[in-house]
Amino acid sequence: MAKLRKATAYRKIERPYTRKSKYRAKSFVRAIPHNLIVKYEMGDATRQFPVTVRLVSKSSLQIRHNALESARKSSNRILETRLGKSGYRFSLRVYPHHVLRENPLAAGAGADRMSTGMAHPFGKSIGLAAQVKQGKTILEIGCERKDIPVAKLAAKRANSKFACPTRIIVEERTAA
């Protein structure tokens, strides 16, 4: 399996020039890699919780689908072990629509003579990314008031998987 490139290679938001059409001649992207994110809603999705802990992005960037899945797994494990399966509601609020592409260059002896030209190559698709704007909620955790420290810990654990500065916001629902 090929090694993953650093997140800095795909961090900057760029306009997607990726057209996926049911007609082959009009489709620019030949194959889209499968999405690694397994679930977007976890815990008790039917219940309304009095407190919502949100992880909000401080800058605009792209987050790859493998980073989102890693953050989901690590934070969901904390919530599930400490609060039980029905003591929280966890939802991932971004979806990786953007197709990441790469033009692989040859390495080794004589590769410098072979890899000339191609100023703006289209490249092959290698992964997916969610384009997150500044102030957008990446993930959301609903819990009881007594469980705020656990939800904050889960959000902090998810934050360590992203290559962007984030902030944790705690909101309480008011009875209307």
3-state secondary structure of 138: strand
Q: Which residue in the block uniquely carries the two structure tokens 């401080």?
A: 58
| 10 and 100 Cβ atoms separated by less than 8 Å | yes
Place of tokens 């003591």: 87
What is the spatial distance between Cα 94 and Cα 84, in angstroms, rounded to a whole number? 25
In a 13 Å sphere around the CA of 73, the CA atoms on its Cβ side amount to 10
Q: What is the pTM of this model?
A: 0.82
Average pLDDT, the chain: 84
Q: What is the predicted pLDDT for the residue at 168? A: 95
User: Which H helix or E strand runs over 70?
Assistant: helix 65-83
Q: What is the pLDDT of residues 35-83, one digit of tens each?
A: 888 889 999 888 899 999 999 999 999 999 999 999 999 999 999 999 9
For residues 126 and 108, which has the higher predicted lDDT (pLDDT)? 126
pLDDT at residue 146 in the model: 94
Domains plus CATH for the chain? 50-100+123-176 (3.90.1170.10)
Tell me, what amino acid is at 57? S
Overall average pLDDT of the 92-121 stretch: 72
**Section 94-117 average pLDDT:** 72
